[in-house]
Amino acid sequence: MGVSVGLLSTMNHNLAYNLTWRTLKDPARMSSNSIQEQLGHSLLPSIKYAYKVDKRDSTIRPTCGYAFLSSSQVGALAPGSKYPWYLRQEVDLRVALPLGVLNGALNAGVAAGIIHPFLRGSTGSVLPLSERFYLGGHRSFVCRLGGPSSLSGFKARDLEPRDFRTCDPNNSENGASTCTELDGGGDIAVTAFADLSFDLPLKSVLDQELGVHGHAFVSAANIAKLTEHGPRKFPLTDFLQTFRCSVGFGVVVPTELFRIEMNYCYILKQFGHDWGKTGIHFLISLAASSH
């Protein structure tokens, strides 16, 4: 539950004050000690600034143009808050290139986010669970412009950060490496994708009137706990080596308001607790505003 008050809003700039009331419960009492400390009610005021430019010809099926989003949020501003003040920074870049064959286009994008505490609260430097990054979910990475979140073939919040100190990529079962699980999302996340769209070689009503088309894609993502190591000791090499990855192809049904996809997705790389699934996936994504 929350309220957002717009302080400034133009075509490219937005400044807002957000006040959120959250209640975190654990009826099964199975969460870790770090999560147990965050149970109960919490008030999270924050100020968020976003700069956005979207020059793509469409947000449903982009064939040319680019889009960029940068957002900065300072949170836990309430006096006496049990959480530390934190800065959450996200960037998202998209590019669409026409190919000139079968109305084809190559869409590519990369998004990254980081959240870092400033002043210590009653829980030390522990960041609120609701503000951390969670990856996964059946959402189109072509439409959405809003920081790292989506990875094809993984359910919402299925990706968890790993403890690189105990991660053994060579110890695996069924192609899934085993690592120690860390609780409650991550504070650094990166996602990337490439999507090739093309008209189906069918001269039918579906193809010509409804705009039904095919696409093939590859996506990758990773998430980690920056506060476990500190910025200077962050194991960048391990982070790059533990990206999850998936590929797939499917059929897209575009409308003015949303985009429907039926995809076959194959998981190239995942870890023991990620629960990525090779198979058929359906998704519906709302169109993003181009302004």
Burial grade of 276 (CB within 10 A; 0-12, 13-18, 19 or more)? buried
Confidence band, pLDDT 50/70/90 cuts, at residue 176 = very low
| Averaged pLDDT for residues 158-169 | 52
**Residue type, position 12, single letter:** N
Specify the pLDDT at position 32: 58
Specify the pLDDT at position 203: 67
| Averaged pLDDT for residues 116-143 | 74
| Averaged pLDDT for residues 210-216 | 91
pTM of the model: 0.81
Q: Got the DSSP string for 60-113? A: SS--SEEEEEEEEEEE--STT-SSPPEEEEEEEEEEEEE-SSTT-EEEEEEEEE
Unique residue bearing structure tokens 């993502």: 221
pLDDT digits (tens, 9 = 90+) for 232-252: 777 888 888 889 999 999 999
Statement: residue 291 has pLDDT above 70? no
Specify the pLDDT at position 43: 76
CATH number of 52-286: 2.40.160.50
28 compared with 234, residue with greater pLDDT: 234
pLDDT digits (tens, 9 = 90+) for 92-108: 999 999 999 989 999 99
Rounded alpha-carbon distances, angstroms, from residue 146 to 126, 149, 254, 257: 24, 8, 20, 18
Unique residue bearing structure tokens 């198979």: 279
Specify the pLDDT at position 182: 41
Specify the pLDDT at position 177: 42
